[in-house]
Amino acid sequence: MLLGNQQIRLVLFIGLSILSTFEARAWPPTYGPEFTFTNLEMVEALKKLPYSGQKMANQKFLNLWVEEIRKTCQECKIIEKRDKHGIAYKVEKGSFHYTLSVDTGVLEVQMPGLTLEEIRAQKESIHKEIFQAAEKMGLKPAKTLGGGHIHIGYLEAFKDDPQLFRDFVVDYANHPDLSFGVMGSSLENSPPIVALEKNQQEEFKKLIAEFDHSSMSGEDLAKAIDERVYTKTLKYMSPKHYQAMKMRRVYDEIFQNQKTVEMRAVRPQQSVEQYLVELELLEERLKYLKRWKGRLPLDLPIELAKEPIDKLTNFYIYVREMGYSWEKAKLVLPEELLGLEPNYHLGDRVVKARHEQLAKLEKESVNFRAPLDCKDFYKKI
């Protein structure tokens, strides 16, 4: 049946509307935090009391915190709700909102995914209603207890770009000092790939080689890492959960509309300024990785760096090779690395060599995911 002009216009309008809705989920990336706060009373309850006692101690300070927000933010609407740990509160201020809840030994703040610019626009609210109000209640981000997990929106950052997702995963594996030494410190809770058993590391190498010579999607890669690499972790019983980069939210249908890459090896943020620097580092790294076009080499270190100066120098190279400010990046450093100086001479030489390597690669035209018999390829690695 032929369509009339009005029907054609309607079909085009619907099609363009669907397309624009779909495209809206592309770049720029979104980020969702998990801020955590605690105090001595909550820590002592965690050590000495059963779960019910811990929960009561946590709930007491959660209620005090909410009352402080009521005083601080007259225009905020606060809605009581329940989650798996008990009573929680959703705080709404216009289109901006976040949730406060209890967790093991800490109080947690979660926000929906926002772009870096959107988070910058809410910087003052996050500072006053979250960090400042918490401090008035005697609540502070701990150095070891809790975490500062960051959820990167998968669809926004990696839509239609499985090569970028592959490079992001590989790059993070290449830089284990990020998850153990610089931004994170718990091998038991969130180990990098190089801290896993040798057979898991070898499976990771095979999987990346398989991706490079197939039409595997980003979701397929995430699921394969869960099933073939995350088979064990260093202490806990849930190996797919207790890793530096959690994959389940990328491919599991439960999270179809909220796909995220969860960066778990992040200490509790001490301020909104520190959180913003962490996000800037992530976003600048993604821009840098786009230039590699899916050809970033997998280069796992033999072992974790042991000396603080080595961790610091590795981080200096990481920061400077993508053109980010070293002075700003130092805001994310832990106390044990503050006051030290990286090996600038070595670091600058490596950065220069990386820039030359990337400039040469950008001039080449290579079909970097050409089909290849994987068995033959594995013999070469």
pLDDT in tens, 26-36: 689 999 999 99
Least confident of 118-127, 174-183, 294-303, 363-372: 363-372
For residue 50, pLDDT beyond 90:
no
Closest alpha carbon to 320 in 307, 329, 332, 333: 329
- Position 301, amino acid: P
Closest alpha carbon to 129 in 177, 164, 94: 94
What are the structural domains, with CATH classification, of the chain?
31-136 (3.30.310), 150-270+282-379 (no CATH)
Closest alpha carbon to 284 in 328, 248, 246, 249: 328
Q: What percentage of the chain carries pLDDT values higher than 90? A: 73
pLDDT band at 155 (very low <50, low <70, confident <90, very high): very high
The per-residue pLDDT for range 1-39, each reduced to its tens digit, is 444 544 434 433 434 443 333 344 568 999 999 999 999
For residue 171, pLDDT beyond 60:
yes
For residue 367, pLDDT beyond 90:
no
- Position 111, amino acid: M
For residue 326, pLDDT beyond 60:
yes
pLDDT for 72 equals: 85
- Run of H or E including 72: helix 51-72
pTM beyond 0.75: yes
pLDDT for 227 equals: 97
